Each structure stands twice: as C-alpha cells, then as structure tokens.
Structure 1
Amino acid sequence: MTTFLTMQKEQIKMQYQTKFALRDFAGKPLGYYLVDREDLGASNATTAVPDPSEHILVIDVSGSMCGDIADMRSTIEKLLTLEEFNNDALKVSLISYSSHGDCRIHFQKVTVAEVMAPGSKHLAEIRKLNVRGLTGISQALQVAETLIDDKVTTCISLHTDGYANDPSPYSEAQHLVAVANAIAQHPRAFCNTVAYRANCDFPLLTALANKLSGRCIQAQGIKQVYQALHDTTALLASKVAPVIEAGIGNADFVAFVSRSGQKILGGTESLKVRGVAESDDKLLFRYRKVTEADFNASSAPLDEGLPLLAFARVQVALGNLNLAKYAMITTRNKGLRQHARALVGSEVAAMTADLERHLFSDLTCAWATEYGLGATGPAILDVLGLLTEYQKSIRVNVKALASGYKRRGLKRVAGTRLADGTIEKPKYDLKPKGPQGEWIALSGVEINRANATANLRLVQDANLVAVPDGTVIPEVAGIPLDLKSFNNYTVVGDGVINVPVLPIRTSDKRCFQALKDKGLVTGEFNPEAQLDLDLSKLPVVGYDAQFDIPVGTFERLLRLTVVQKVLGGMLKEAAPPSLTPEQVTALKEHCLSPALYFSSPTCNPYADLNDAIAKGEVDTRVSYNVELGTLEITSAEKLKSGNAYLQRRFTRKDGQGKEIDKPTLDLALADGQWGVKALTAKTKLDAVDALCYPIYEAFLGTGNRPFLTELVVELGWDAADLHDLEIALGHLTGRCPEAAVETLTKLKGAVGRALDETYRTVVAPLAFYVGSTGLVPDAFGALALTAEQLLKAHPAVSLSKAEKEEGVFYEIPGGHLLTVTTSTENFSTEAGVKVASAL
C-alpha cells in the first residue's frame, strides 16, 4: 500500500516535462505522450476583499423531482441562512423550470440579507417551489444567461434529475448547444451542474460543465447537493482569480487541474478557465502524442499519476470512454479497476466520481505491479469454443461444478399457482435414468445474442414419470419416449466469471492436447482423469479481437426474424406430418412437445416478490444488453409480435365470410381469406412497416410475392425449392393447408439456422466483447453518444423509453448502430433456493 500520487513527487516538482505510455486492458502500449506541466501557482488572498459576485440557482421542478423537492427547498434555505453570516452581500437569483414554456424567475439579483429578512417575499418563493411537468433545461439556461453581468463573477448552478426532453430531446440538444455558446462568451461566468439520481443524463451535464468552466456533481443524496451549493457560495465569497488563458500551443490536448478548487477542465483547443479562487492551486498539462522512438529518447521522468487521471477525467467529458478507461487502467490503481466495464450513464458517473476523488486528494490505495487488468492466458471465449469443438468427448463433474456455483436467475418450481396462493403440481415430471452420477455429458455451449453470457448445456437420458408415484411412462399415444434432460450452467454472466474452476474430463486425446497447448492442463493424457480448468485468471475475451460487421447484416437479421415470427405463428397449432392431431394433443397432456421436449408449467415460488427481497430470499443484479441496429430500427426489439403486426395491417374472414376480430396467424391453416386493412388518419407508417408489410403480403397471399424469391436466394435454396414454397402457400389460400405444413416447417428450420449462424459468427461475439470489457472496438473509432446527442445528429431516430433513459449509442461501420442499455434482473439467494426447494 502507498499514498497515490506521491510517486516521484519531489522529482516532478523539479521537472516541467513528464511522460507516460497509454496502455490497453492487456497492458500493451497504445500511444506515447510527453506532458508539459505548468504550475500557475496560488496567491495568498485570504485578506483580500472579494469581488462582487452573483449566484444564479436554476432548479428542476419537473414531476420526477417529486421525491426531492421538499429537501431541495430546505437545503436552499439552510444554505442562505449560513451565507447570511458569511457573505450577506452575495446576490442571488432563483429560476425554476419544467415543461417548455414554463420557466419562472422567482427573484433576481437580491442580496442574501434581503432574502433572509423577516417576512421576506423572496423566502416565501423558495418555500413555494413545487413540481410541475416535464424537463426543458435550455429555456432556463437561456433566461439565466440574460441575468449575467460581465462586471461581476457569476456562477450558474444548474440542478436536474433527468434528461432534457421538452419540447423534444432533439430540439433541447440544439438549444443547449446554442445557450452554452452564449454563456461561454461572458468572461466572468461559469456553470456548475448537479445531477440527481443514477439515471440522469450525466454525460450531457459533465460535457456542459466542461464547456462552461464548471464542475459536474453526481449527487447521491441531499447532503451532496448542499455541499455542492456551499462550495459554490464559498468560492464566490473569496477572491476569484481573473480568467486564465490556457493556450494549447503545439500540444494535442490540454487539461487544467485545481486540486484545492476541485476543478478539472480540458479539450483539444485552448481553454478559458473561470471560477477558480486566487488562493487555489492551478496546474496546466499539455499532452503531445509522440512516436515510440521519441518517447524512449526523452529523459523526462515517467509519471502515471496526476497527468493520467486528468487525461482520463477530461476524456469522459468529451465522450471518449475507451481512452478514459485506458488512461485509468494505466495508472495501475487497483481501486479504479472496478470501473473498467462502465458503459451506461450511472456507471460512468460512478467512475468519474472515483477519478475525481483520486485526482483531488492523496488517497491510500493498492498498486498493481503489472499493467492492464492482470488477466493473462487464453480468452475464456476461446476455451469455450474449444470445448464446443470436442463436446461429444467431454463430461462435466456436475457435483464439483455445483459446489461453488452462483445462481443468476430466479429459482422456479414445477406447477401452477392458484388463486388461493397454493401451487398445483403437474401430473408428470422428468427424472434422469438410473442413479444420479457425477459425470454428465456436455451437449453444447450457448452464447447469448445480446449480452456477455455463456452457458454450458448438459444432457442426460431421462424418463417421463407420473407424479406422485413415480411410475415410468415408456410411450404416449403409441410414440416411444426417448427423452433427454437438459440443464444450463452459466460460466460467464454479463462479462463476469461465474465458474472459477471448470471440472471436466475428455475421452479425446486431441482435446487434451489442445487444452495443454493453451496452458490449461499439464501431464499426460488420461481419459478417466478429472481436469480442473482454472478460468479465474483468464481474460473473458481477447482484448485485441477484431470485428467486421458487413453492410446489411442487421437488415438480414430483421428480415429473417420477421419470417420466423410469421412461420412460427402459422405453424403454432400445426401437427408435424408424422403425427396426427390426436397424438399431438396426447403429448401436450403429458407436458411434451411434438419434438419430444419436456416442458411442464413452472411458477415463481415466492408469493410476494417484494417480501422475498425484503427477507433476503431474492436479490437483484444489473444486466447489460448490447443490441445491433440501424438508425431506422435501433434493435430487433422494435419488431412487433407476429400476431400484433398481423392485426395492425391485415384482416381475416372465416369460411362463411364473417370478419374475425383480432385474427391470428394460425388461422392460415383454417378455412378463410386474408385481406388488407384500410389505413386511417391515425395510422403512421414507419421503418418497421416498410420491412414487415411485403413479407406478410408474400406469405398471406394478399399481393405479389417478390420477397419469396429474395428469401430463397438468401437461404441458398434453388428454383425447385421456390416452386415447392409457392405451391405450399398456394395450398393455404386454396383451402388445403395440411399439404403446406411440411414445406413451411422445412423453411422455418432453414430460417432458424440462418439466424443462429449470423448471430453466432457476427453479432454475439461483438455483444460479448462490449459487455465483458466495457469497450467498443477501437477500430470502430466510435464516440459514446447519449440519446440527446444521437437525436441531435439524427432527429428521425425512434428510441424507446429505456433507450432514452439509460442508453448509450455508438455509430459503427457498415451503417450500423450499437446500443447499450441495462436492465435489473432478480435472482434467488441461497436462502431463496432453500425456500423454493421446500415447496
């Protein structure tokens, strides 16, 4: 343990140039920098008479502030009570804002003494603050800008708990840029921002503070709000330094740091620093990127402390999250490693707060001796790929695996919860054949399509048994039952290693040798020996992985997904060609699908989920979702269900010509006729309609079928396959649906395989990389964008509520958009598993 930033402290005081090598998560150098450090000094201004100053409070009173507004009122009053003794000549203005057009000046340029006077109408205005409407920030800043007097030092304190969204995120983003530029023209004004709640638009607020020479505070509670306001009034009560012109010179990047003033600013252009006390320390860092040869030739000392922390903090404000994280990890500060995967607003805010704590004070922390994240060896994703290649030879010691296993989902129990709260057990269950052994066969490795989660799928032979006597049922409706029992175990969950040691054995000497080549096993091959694969120190993915997302990839995925929805709906109730409807019904009654997969009803074992959370039986975790999309359709989640889109654009008449209300796709196998719904003035067609309509039209037979030719080509089918498909669809409209089932089932399988292949080879690896590292591949050169920034650049983009509140967006090559959001997932604790098992 050592005090951070004390390394080479005396040497740095004597040297005006230092250097560092920026490194990636694997510890490999990415770039080399020479840093010119200029100490602007601090004067003893404790006895100086402070300049006249003003404080403009800009308070968010939108509806979402309902839980905070009472504390906000009392905090302002408490602050001004204190200032009445310290600086009663300070002039204060109070502005509140909510929806567009609702912005009020409660009082302006009133001294603290006047505000706090007995019977003050100004104090009454503070006490009347209440919530009302949406969040229109720009209008309030525009009003605040009109109150700035260039003869006095002015601080605007902007408070908000949400996103600038009224009249729209796009217009707000435009107006905020304009008003920020206007405020920046005032030589003695600066703006601090205070972000309430974890899901507010922290990237926007920190960028605004950086542009306007202020600070951005992520307030976790009212105490931090008070401290932020108090720090501002204390500064205004002191002797404020004149505007500092921080020229960038021949550098690539410049940062200003005041540790005592707790201010950090920076950018790729010269800075004008305002809002710093004369008594505060003032440091300038000018960064110049150089070649490796010039770096090695320089005699400047290595400094991986303050210059790197300042570099990281400013990169956050500029939206360069990858660079910020590389600088943070290059410090080798172990305490900062926890933020390596920060992606969404609340996590970036926590990372920023931690960077500032280390930047502004000498904290005690642990140092790593090595660069990077300390993970070495083959990537776990590559190891899982190897296991997939040899899966037929691999068995897993499930008892050893379960001993240290962490459950990641809610434990469910077989049965249906009745109205009285009791659980009715199903009549049938699936039990492994023979005694439960330790070694279970590996059936495959499943990589999640949208997050960094990988599961082992284990399989064993099983019997269908009656409940409760356990009688084995060898066949149903004359169908012999050759059943399998499947269980999934999460090896990596949301980028975190969930199985530190994976106990396996293999009967294939090639598999053993491949594991040995990766350094995972030693010794000689023994097909009966347990091999403990230590995953705990391995990187989840290769940090230097390369990705290529071909143009049109997402459009292909969308087309195939829509076809899958249509076919799935059509064939939902269809019996396979080999079975009669009566056999399918009998299988369903025994909890079996026509493909002989067992699926009994299950339910949540906790009657009251909130009560289970309170008792510690259920806990929550954060899950990352990484979605590929385009600017037209940001993710496949925007697609409606098969029947929902059908009901939006199409109609159905039964065999007697009667209109069917809310038709479903499975009616394709019944007597009747499809039609096209007439558009109304309320129907707004969008990109989803442009995609879905011709596909539905082709399968329902309501128009031309050029899409079928495109689909057949895309799947690699030939003219004969197209002919069979057209005949099959003709059978549907020709009232002979049974003849179509076999061809449509074949098509459904081909579409599913094509989807799986594209996700497996193109999409899932990228989602896994982003979700596990918190990085977007450097080769993409993509900046992190908030919803507001995305809408500013592309006003027509349609975003969901979750995307607007917590989404981070990256425009990547191939015309694609990468969207990262989070969701909260429940999981059963050990206590919760015991409760479920006892039912």
Structure 2
Amino acid sequence: MAKKSATNRVMSSQRRKRISGKINNRISLLELLKLLESNRHSIIINLKHLQANYQRKGVKRVQGYKDENGNIIKPWLTTQYIDNGEYVGMGTFELNQNTANINMLITRKVRLIKTEAQTPISEVAGLLINDLNSFNNYTIVSEGAVNIKSLQIKISNKKTFDLLKAKGVIENEEYDFRCEYTIRLDNLPLVPPDRNYSSIEGVFYQLAEAKVLTSIISALLKKESDIFVPEQLEELRKHYLSKHLNLNFPTTNEYINIQQALARQNIDTRISYKIDIGSQEILNLGKLHSANKFLDRMYEVYHKQTGEIISKPSFDLLFHENIACRHKQLSSRIKVTSVDEFMKPIFDDFLGLDNNGIIASILTKIDAGNLAQVLQQQREHQNVNKNALIEVLFIANEKLEEFISAIYQEKISPLVLYIGSTGLLPKKMKAKAITAEELAIKYPCLQFSKDEKEGRFFLIGDSIVSVYATKEYYSKQTAVMV
C-alpha cells in the first residue's frame, strides 16, 4: 500500500478507479441485496448457475483429518442434501466486519448418513435429525469489487417482480412465474452515494466491553447447555453436532504442503485490505485477549481446600464449588499493556474481586439485568442455583451478541464497505493519513502487527481508523460444487 498521505484518501487512485464503480441514479447493490433478502420467501436462485460462475475467495477445506502420512481420513458420518433440485431459496446477506465484503448465506436441508454404508441416521440423543440445516457462504462482493456478476432467479410473487422492475433491475419483461430472470449485480453502484454514515465516537469501547464480556460468558458456558444433559451433549458431539444442532465436522486442507500447492497452482495469493476501528489506547478489537488466555495471564485459579494452583485454567472450572480465583503475582517477564488495563476491571468485576459496576453497566445497556442480580448474589455469598445461573448466562450472551451485531451492521460494516469500495473516507470524516511510525510517536501504548506497520491510519475524534493490507490464500477454481 502506498504511504503518501492525503486527506480522506485511503487507497491509491488506481485501486479506487478499479473498485469504486460508476456513480449513477440506479439502485445501489447494497440496497438491492436488502430488497432481495426482505422478499426472499418469494425468490429462488439457480444454484448450478451460481456455482458455475463463482470464484472461491478462501482456501477450500474438506471434511476429515490427516493421518501421520498426510492421508485424509473421512469422518464416519457425512451429509446428504434433501433438496437435490436445480434451485434453492434466496439467501440472507451480511456485511463483513473489517473487510469490504458482502456474503450471501444459503441454507439447505440435509440428513446425516453413514459414510461407508450410505444409510441415514434419523435420531441422536433423543432428537429427530432428519432435516438439519447446512450453510454455505458465497462472497457477493470481495474487497469492494463484485465477485458474482449476476443471479439467475425465479419469482413466485408478482408484487416482488413489480418491485424489482420498478427499481430497474428487471427491464422490458413481463411477469411469468415459469421464467428465469437475470439480476445483474456488476452494473450497479456498490453503495448509495448520498448515504449518511453514523458517527463512530465512543463505538469502539462499547464494542470492546461487550466483546470481553461475551468472551467470558462463552468460555464459562463452553461445556454447558440450558437444554441438554451432559450425556446428550456427548452423544451430539460423537455425531458432529453442536449443542445448537449445527453440523460441526472436522475439516482440513486438501494439500499437505502450502509451497507445493502454490507451485502446482492449486492455490494462489491475493491482497486483502483490513479496515479496523480502534482507540488511542487499543488499535483494534483483534488486540483483545480471549477470556481463558487473559484468565491465565492475570489470575490464579486454585483449589480452596488444598491451595493447589491449576495450570492452564479455563473459565468452566469456576462452576466447581471448591475452585476460586485471585490475582496473580506477575513476573517481570509480563509487560502490562493498555489492553490489560482495559480488560482487568471487567474481569475483576465479573469474578467478584472488585465491585466497580462495569458488568452491571454493560448488562443494563442490553436489558440483561437478571444476570447482574445473580452475580451480585454470588458476590454477597448467597446460594445461587447453577441451573438458574446457566439460564441467565445464555440469555445475556444472546443479547450481547445481538448488541454487537447491531453496532456492526448499523455503524461499522457500512463504513468499512464504503471505505473499501471507494478508497475514501466519507466526506464528513475529515482526516489526514498518517503512518504507523507517526501514530506510535503520538500514542506510544499502541501495538502494531507486521502488516499494520505498513498501513495507513486516520484520527477521527477519539477513534482511529486503520487500513492495511494482508496476504490471503485462495483455491484456484472457477466453480464450487457444494
């Protein structure tokens, strides 16, 4: 990425010309995808056309694992599609969190079958599983450029047809439910030219607090369920099913050696631009530690009766009555960072080592006060029923994830898409690009990865927008059969 500074300019003019698209009065691609999703129950997609014209943007992985000789061992179960027709239902669309990508998620019904015998399994852990969901993501927009030029669709509702025709994406055609219509995606501006982008003031710390707390709760609930008993969870695991009944097969790369795969041109590399939001103390959310890593870094988990310190502790141990937690005496090798200083008060409050009100404040924002009450009862050494605690933890975690998703979809992801597709900051965000060296002088507590050191940075209020390039691998193929 070029390092020349320019106000509001994020990428080189050559790249902006390639990906920005022609601005016109037509509906934007982003608006069209929202329209397709909101009317998806009356639209079906020609899946074979989609697969035949699709270029994968990541490395293909296959079910199974490699033995010591590099041979792929297949799982004892696999899936079989129930819908083997030419069409599938219209998918849902999601903007990526830190790249200018839009993905389309296609959901299809599958059944579990034994790999060798090819016979179906209809019941696991007391549940009928003959219509499980399988999910496949297709990248509609990659790095601000259209990756799928068109969709071939059929429409079962004339009102939906009329709506698409009024928006100009279907031209000079009459409605016929038997007909297939071509919806071009490559001739539309990617984003609305007149869209107002929300202020990102204070957004980073809202996200960071919520992400730290959901990391803690997820680690605590890793082996728990508010529906199934442990024996059921084990039975589901043996059949490659999560506690949410999602398929969870082991996967591996098809190649053994990546250099060999590159030489054989099975895979190739491409440049991906990351666009992150951060603060003057923490460059981006990727700097935050996982809950279990931070627990091991800053705390001691020990047995109350014996005093034995548990090595490599995990949050799920804290459900045991005889297990407790305290601050660790840090060695001189551990350098306390601004990330540590941010995360520690949240952990202290959750673990009952402090009563600073941070957890209650976060939970109040998402209307999850029940968990705050239960944690306060624990802090006061009141007897708390484990099942009741697990139930409120699951509810709070779901609300946290919804809160995080809403911030991304409303404030962060549209901004990321705009920057990645135009190469510019929105007009109202006036900022001059500076280098990592310049930023580090201004804010010495910031930590940079190798790629981030080559990036550009924009100071917008109390926030920092980072734009930097990374190398990504992808499988070279023109069709994806899934």
* Map of 1:769 onto structure 2: 418
Q: Deviations over 1:436-458 (max 9, x none)?
A: 11111134112111111111111
CA contact under 8 A between 1:500 and 1:534: conserved in structure 2? Answer: yes
- Does residue 541 of structure 1 match 2:228? no
Aligned to 1:662: 312
CA distance in 1, matches of 2:255, 2:383: 50
| 2-structure distance, mates of 1:697, 1:395 | 51
Gapped regions of structure 1 (runs ≥ 5): 1-198, 204-315, 329-336, 343-371
Match for residue 89 of structure 2 among 434, 441, 452: 441
Task: Rate the CA distance shift 1:571–1:705 in 2: closer, same or farther, 3 A.
Answer: farther
8 Å Cα contact 1:731-1:740 kept in structure 2: no
Contact preservation (8 Å) 1:731, 1:739: no
Displacement after TM superposition at 1:832 (Å): 11
Which residue in the other structure is 1:517 paired with? 166
Shift of 1:609: 1.2
Q: Does 1:819 align with 2:470?
A: no
Distance 1:732 1:581, change over 3 A: farther
Q: Distance in 1 between matches of 2:372 and 2:315?
A: 22
For 1:523-602, what aligned pairs fall within 5 Å after superposition? Answer: 523-574=173-224, 576-602=225-251
SS in 1 for 2:465: strand
Does residue 9 of structure 2 align to residue 319 of structure 1? no
Query: Which of 443, 450, 458 is the equivalent residue of 2:98?
Result: 450
Among candidates 109, 125, 142, match of residue 493 of structure 1: 142
Opposite residue 571 of structure 1, the aligned amino acid is: L
Superposed, 1:225-624 pairs within 5 Å as 316=4, 319-320=6-7, 322=9, 337-338=14-15, 340=17, 373-374=21-22, 376=24, 377-434=26-83, 436-481=84-129, 482-522=131-171, 523-574=173-224, 576-624=225-273
> Which amino acid is the alignment partner of residue 812 of structure 1?
I
Please tell me whether the aligned partners of residues 450 and 625 of structure 1 are also in contact (alpha carbons under 8 angstroms): yes
- 1:7-66 deviations in Å (ceiling 9; x for gaps): xxxxxxxxxxxxxxxxxxxxxxxxxxxxxxxxxxxxxxxxxxxxxxxxxxxxxxxxxxxx
Q: Whole-Å Cα distance in 1 between the matches of residues 305 and 114 of structure 2?
A: 44
Indicate conservation of the 8 Å contact 1:577/1:742, yes or no.
Answer: yes
Count matched residues: 477
Give SS of 1:780's match: coil
Query: Of 288, 291, 297, which aligns to 1:648?
Result: 297
Partners of 1:799 and 1:587 in 2: how far apart?
A: 41
* Matched residue, 1:369: none
Name the SS of the counterpart of 1:464 in structure 2.
strand
Which of these residues, 677, 689, 708, is aligned with residue 328 of structure 2? Answer: 677
Gaps of 5+ in 2: none
Alpha-carbon distance in 2 for matches of 1:505, 1:824: 38
Q: CA deviation at 1:803?
A: 1.3
CA distance in 2, matches of 1:339, 1:558: 31
Corresponding letter in the other structure for 2:326: G
* Distance in 2 (alpha carbons) for counterparts of 1:392 and 1:831: 29
Return the letter of the residue paired with 2:75: P
TM normalised by structure 1 equals 0.54
In 1, distance between residues paired with 2:374 and 2:189? 49
Q: What letter corresponds to residue 816 of structure 1 in structure 2?
A: S
Q: Which TM-score applies when normalising by structure 2? A: 0.92
Q: Counterpart amino acid of 1:319? A: A
Distance in 2 between residues matched to 1:692 and 1:639, nearest whole Å: 8
Which SS does the other structure have where 1:713 is aligned?
Answer: helix
**Alpha-carbon shift at residue 538 of structure 1 (Å):** 1.3
Q: What amino acid maps onto 2:17 in structure 1?
A: A
Amino acid at match of 1:704: N
Q: Is the 8 A contact 2:92 2:105 kept in 1?
A: yes
Task: For 1:819, give the aligned amino acid.
Answer: S
Q: In the alignment, is residue 791 of structure 1 matched against residue 440 of structure 2?
A: yes
Structure 2 CA distance, aligned partners of 1:732 and 1:749?
Answer: 26
Task: Determine whether 1:712 maps to 2:363.
Answer: yes
**In 2: Cα distance, 1:636 partner to 1:532 partner:** 40
Amino acid at match of 1:491: I
Distance 1:526 1:832 in 2: 29
Distance (whole Å) between structure 2 residues aligned to residue 323 and residue 685 of structure 1:
32
Structure ranking higher on relative contact order (CA contacts 8 Å, 6+ apart): 2
Classify the secondary structure of the residue corresponding to 1:830. Answer: coil
Q: Does 1:630 align with 2:279?
A: yes
Displacement of 1:496 in angstroms is 1.3
% identical aligned pairs: 30
CA distance in 2, matches of 1:408, 1:414: 19
- 1:566 is displaced (CA, Å) by 0.4
Q: Which residue identity lines up with residue 652 of structure 1 in the other structure? A: V
- The answer (yes or no) to whether the contact 2:51–2:479 under 8 Å persists in 1 is no
Task: Measure the CA separation in 1 of the matches of 2:333 and 2:204.
Answer: 29
CA deviations 1:732-759 (Å, max 9, x no partner) are: 9958534421111111111011000101
When residues 695 and 792 of structure 1 are mapped into structure 2, their CA distance, relative to the original with a 3 A threshold, is closer
Q: Distance in 2 between matches of 1:505 and 1:717?
A: 43
**Shift in Å, 1:393:** 2.8
Q: Describe how 1:156-167 pairs up with structure 2 within 5 A.
A: none
Decide whether the 8 Å contact of 2:112 with 2:120 is kept in 1: yes
SS at structure 2 position matched to 1:322: coil
Structure 1 contact 674–700 (Cα < 8 Å) conserved: yes
Partner of 1:331: none
Residues 625 and 820 in structure 1, CA contact (< 8 A), matched pair in contact too: yes
The 1:832/1:496 distance shift into structure 2, 3 A limit, reads closer
3-state DSSP class of the match of 2:110? strand
For the Cα contact (< 8 Å) 1:411–1:833, is it kept in 2? no
Matched residues in 2 for 1:495 and 1:821: separation? Answer: 14
Q: C-alpha distance in 2, partners of 1:613/1:783?
A: 38
8 Å Cα contact 1:670-1:735 kept in structure 2: no
Matches within 5 A, 1:46-195: none
